[in-house]
Amino acid sequence: MRRSTRSSSVASSDEHMPNFYSNSSDSVPSGDCRGRRSPGPGPGEPESRRARGASCVSEEQRNFLATLDPRRETPAPRATKSFLSLLFQVPRVLLSLVRDVLLGVCREVCCVRFLFAVSLLSIFLAAHSWGLLHLFPPLENEPKAMLTPSEYHERVRSHGQQLQQLQAELNKLRTEVARVRAAHSERVAKLVFQRLNEDFVQKPDYALSSVGATIDLEKTSQDYEDTNTSYFWNQLSFWNYARPPTVILEPDVFPGNCWAFQGDQGQVVIQLAGRVQLSDITLQHPPPSVAHTGDASSAPRDFSVFGLQVDDETEVFLGRFTFDVKKSAIQTFHLQNDPPSAFPKVKIQILSNWGHPRFTCLYRVRAHGLRISGGPH
């Protein structure tokens, strides 16, 4: 009994074991893939329904059958399929991006704003080019071809000659200016000293020759004479030692226009333009800066002033003074005439000079005060 039972169980197990190598239509009952049995085909139904029933085998069974059957090809894995699909999609995406960019550029080119911007840029470039052409005009005078060495040397020589001519004309002009300056130097100095006289002395001058003043030659020192050099000095108009003493009564004061006497002591007597109550005496000497000798050593230094009465014998002392060459060229000294007395003449006695060993020069002497009676006209 037991043996029969084992055999029957074995048989039953063999009967229930699926045969994967048999046709799928024999191992799977007819019906849909959801496990519901469907009634078998009728005698009049086609075989296509049986084929649809056979196609409802599960995916696991197919894979298992594929592993067992060496004749069937192994399907590609899903990762490989996905990679290939992505690889084929990349060119498609790139082509779509290029298309979108080209479409955008075409739209911008066709739009009005782009055309307006291009027009403005063209106008700006045209104006800039026009400005450059007018700012840097073409050099029409420049030679179009290169100069040969001989032509270059000839041009240099002609330019050198032009420069020499210009230099000669400039030298002539300088010579003419120097001549005119030398011719008018004395006149300019005279005008300068005249202006100085007008500015610094604002008193009437009764020792002026133009109003009647003269020199008493009998009571005046002798003129300076140098027998060795008198001819030479007399040839120089700006320093003539033969000038008479009347020059001290003239307003023309410029270097050399003075009266010189021997040594450092002398006197001059001036006949005034009437009887004058003397109050001031003014002496004038050019400063060292305008002197031709470069110093003022011949200028008077210490001097005394006397008033002469009508008898020409009585002298009244009016004061002793010092003329300082380091100060102004025109210096006025107040006289000691108290009580005031009127004199027809005044005597200027020079006591010393500023160091010249041979002579002393007087340029101009002025007498100020109040005239009591008129002099000769």
Task: List C-alpha distances in Å: 271 to 246, 311, 358, 367.
Answer: 11, 13, 27, 11
The per-residue pLDDT for 6 is 42
Segment 343-352 shows an average pLDDT of 96
pLDDT band at 210 (very low <50, low <70, confident <90, very high): very high
Burial 210-244 (b: 16+ CB within 10 A, else e): ebbbbbeeeebbebbeeeeeeeebeeeeebbbebe
How large is the average pLDDT for residues 226-244?
A: 54
* Alpha helices (H) in the chain, listed in sequence order: 2-16, 24-27, 48-54, 59-68, 78-110, 112-135, 149-200, 230-234
Share of the chain above pLDDT 90, in %: 31
Residue in 192, 325, 179, 328 with CA at minimum distance from that of residue 254: 192
pTM listed for this prediction: 0.47
Q: For residue 306, which amino acid is it? A: F
Residue 110 confidence (pLDDT) above 70: no
* Of 194 and 210, more confident: 210
Instruction: Say if residue 91's pLDDT is above 90.
Output: no
Indicate whether 353 pLDDT > 60. Answer: yes
Could you say which architecture CATH assigns to the domain 204-373? Sandwich (2.60)
Q: Does residue 207 surpass a pLDDT of 90? A: yes
Tell me: pLDDT of 31 over 60. Answer: no
Provide the pLDDT for residue 145.
Answer: 62
pLDDT at residue 26, rounded to an integer: 42
pLDDT at 214 exceeding the cut of 50 = yes
Amino acid letter, 220: T
The pLDDT-based confidence of 253 (bands split at 50, 70, 90) is confident
Measured between alpha carbons, how far is 163 from 158 in angstroms, rounded to an integer? 9
Q: Does the structure show a pLDDT above 80 at 298? A: yes
What count of Cα atoms within 13 Å lies in the side-chain half-sphere of residue 323?
35
- The confidence score (pLDDT) of residue 79 equals 66
Least confident of 103-107, 175-179, 303-307: 103-107
- What type of residue is 107? R
Domain definitions of the chain by residue range = 151-200, 204-373
Whether pLDDT at 334 is above 70: yes
Least confident of 6-15, 116-125, 247-256, 296-305: 6-15
pLDDT at 367: 96
Confidence of residue 352 (pLDDT cuts 50, 70, 90): very high
pLDDT score at 226: 67
Lookup result for tokens 């994967």: 20
CB of 215 closer than 8 Å to CB of 249: yes
Tell me the sheet residues that pair with 304.
320, 349
